């Protein structure tokens, strides 16, 4: 039986954010809730000092590549539904 690791890297735009403090509050909430919502590891990986931009990586693992793709797609839907103030500008998926 094989194991598939999926990585989604998302570039986010936070148009209503006007300070790093605002951004960090939103990102901390988003990443904590995402980790708690399912079988995911998540972290902010770039754009740390930019107010209105963030890059996050989400990782999941499953026995099936199709299941990993489904899980990563559900993360995008979850983020859009739960954080309407955050816009996904680019998403990249990798399967290992």
pLDDT, tens digit (0-9, with 9 covering 90-100), for 20-47:
999 999 999 999 999 998 789 999 999 9
C-alpha 13/C-alpha 16 separation (Å) is 9
User: What's residue 38's pLDDT?
Assistant: 79
- In the chain, the domains with their CATH numbers are 4-95 (3.30.70.1120)
For the stretch 64-80, pLDDT in tens is: 999 999 999 999 999 99
Note the pLDDT of residue 15.
96
pLDDT above 90 (res 1)? no
Whether 86 contacts 13, CB under 8 Å: yes
* pTM metric for this prediction: 0.91
**Structure tokens belonging to residue 50:** 């930019």
Query: Two tokens at 26?
Result: 């939103």
What are the phi and psi torsion angles at 17 (to 5°)?
-85, 135
């Amino acid at each position: 039986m094989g194991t598939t690791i999926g990585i989604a890297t998302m570039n986010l735009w936070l148009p209503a954010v006007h300070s790093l403090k605002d951004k960090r509050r939103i990102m901390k909430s988003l990443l904590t809730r995402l980790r708690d919502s399912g079988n995911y590891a998540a972290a902010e990986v770039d754009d740390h000092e930019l107010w209105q931009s963030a890059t996050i990586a989400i990782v999941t693992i499953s026995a099936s590549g199709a299941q990993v793709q489904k899980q990563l797609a559900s993360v995008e839907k979850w983020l859009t539904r739960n954080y309407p103030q955050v816009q996904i500008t680019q998403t990249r998926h990798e399967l290992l």
